[in-house]
Amino acid sequence: MTKNKTPGDMQPPDPWQNLILASLPAEDYKRLLPHLELVEMPLDWTMSESGDHVNFLHFPTSGIVSLIYSLEDGSSSETALVGNEGLVGISIFMGGESMPTSTEVQNAGHAYRLSRKVMKHEFALGGKLQHVALLFTQALIAQTSQTAVCNQHHSLDQKMCRWLLMTLDRTNSDKLVITQEAIGKLLGVRRESVTQVLGQFQKDRLIERGRGHFTVLDRSKFEKRVCECYMAVREEYERLLPSKRGAKKTAST
């Protein structure tokens, strides 16, 4: 992991690009700001392993982090994903000290991290950060539960539509840089099955494929094709968490 570095001709991301930080009252935000440390989230970085004692809470400003559950036989599956709408490291304030999932960067980006000590102190104050962190945790539980239902009852075509739309919701691009092997790992299926479904997507003019990446050509067609699980999770997040409009307003005040 590389700390405090962004390309020389670019300004570092503002903490309020994370919607949880942006939702904080000005007084809380200013108190927290000196303790926030900018870090890079490179592709495939394992932020924590299953059972690790987590020392930092991360607030992504860009990129996507996957929560991965691995079995003893080496197989694995994504249980949830987190972008700039949330945070990574809920065990710090939930009291469990560790999680059964590992956290891995699916799309590169940046995050601001906060030490365990500072987060525990802020959480104990019972203010807005505690409130929004708990609402995010509820939304994350909803996502995990819906993913389990989807994996059990829906086709791979539908599951891939759900995963694609949830990923697009957390990026600013229609181009996804990811291998078919990585998608298979996230969905808990064989690479060959992913190749088959992506081939059908391309045949139907939904995507355009390249080596190690593909571009979504028509999001609306995915929205018509996806199972109910996508909207169920999206509506729960919209109900519980600060909107982008509200976050930008807060950040500018």
Question: End-to-end alpha-carbon separation of the chain, Å?
Answer: 33
Following CA atoms 137, 176, 238, 122 in sequence, which dihedral angle do they give, to the nearest 10 degrees?
40
Angle between helices 156-168 and 191-203 (to 10 degrees): 80
Model confidence at 114: pLDDT above 50: yes
Q: Which domains occur in the chain, in start order? A: 15-144+242-252 (2.60.120.10), 155-226 (1.10.10.10)
CB 62 within 8 A of CB 84: yes
* Residue 253: strand, helix, or coil: coil
Question: Amino acid identity of 28?
Answer: D
Taking every pair of Cα atoms in the chain, the longest distance, rounded to a whole number of angstroms, is 55
Q: How far apart are CA 70 and CA 97, in angstroms?
A: 19
Q: What is the per-residue pLDDT for 243?
A: 65
> CA of 206: how far to CAs of 64, 92, 211, 213, in Å?
22, 41, 17, 14
Model confidence at 139: pLDDT above 90: yes
- Supply the mean pLDDT for the chain: 90
CB 141 within 8 A of CB 67: no
How many residues make up the chain in this entry?
A: 253
> If residue 215 lies in a helix (H) or strand (E), which one and from where to where?
strand 213-216
CB 48 within 8 A of CB 54: yes
Q: How far apart are CA 87 and CA 123, in angstroms?
A: 14
Residues 195-252 pLDDT 10s = 999 999 999 999 998 888 899 999 999 999 999 999 999 999 999 997 643 444 444 4
Residues 62-105 pLDDT 10s = 999 999 999 888 889 999 999 999 999 999 999 877 788 999 99
DSSP 12: P
Model confidence at 6: pLDDT above 70: no
From 35, 48, 37, 32, select the one nearest 3 (Cα to Cα).
37
Token pair belonging to 175 = 């181009």
